[in-house]
Amino acid sequence: MLQRIQTIYLLLAAGVSVGLIFVFHLWVTDTGEKVFAIDNKYVFGAFLMSALYSIITIFRYKNRKSQFMLGRLNIILNFIILGFFVYQSLNISGETAVSEKGIGMLLPIVSIVLLALANKAIKKDEDLVKSVDRLR
């Protein structure tokens, strides 16, 4: 069913992945330029893939196991994005290319939390259906 709480969580995760990447910058270079996710095609593609997984997961409501699996896959993708940001910020130290880290680097963490809440609600629905099937 589309009117469940996991739909709200998944829509918020998709909004974070595709909407807020245009608002918050990832880092500021030493020349003072703000770098957004759209400036790096791999990061932008990963954020779009995360949003696409969230939207696909919403419409897989008839098959809760695949919905749960897509949620986990999306969490793994966001951990990969977060790992890239950590690598980027630790590998390039000092004032060489990354002068100031932006709040956009924390967007995958927000998305991971929302996806974990959605997976928890999906698991709760699955357990409820299993308990009703036991009574029949």
* Distance, CA of 114 to chain centre: 8
101 assigned to some structural domain: yes
Could you report the per-residue pLDDT of 51-70, keeping only the tens digit for each?
999 999 999 988 989 999 99
pTM of the predicted protein model: 0.87
If we measure between CA atoms, which residue out of 39, 46, 56, 34 comes closest to residue 107? 46
The two beta strands, 34-35 and 100-101, are: unpaired
135 assigned to some structural domain: no
133 assigned to some structural domain: no
pLDDT at 98: 53
Q: What string of pLDDT tens digits covers the 136 residues of the chain?
A: 567 899 999 999 999 999 888 888 887 777 778 888 888 899 999 999 999 999 999 999 889 899 999 999 999 999 999 998 888 877 765 555 556 677 888 899 999 999 999 999 999 988 888 888 776 6
58 assigned to some structural domain: yes
pLDDT at 5: 92
Q: Write out the residue range of the structural domain in which residue 97 sits.
A: 5-127
120 assigned to some structural domain: yes
Domains held by the chain: number: 1
109 assigned to some structural domain: yes
132 assigned to some structural domain: no
pLDDT at 1: 56
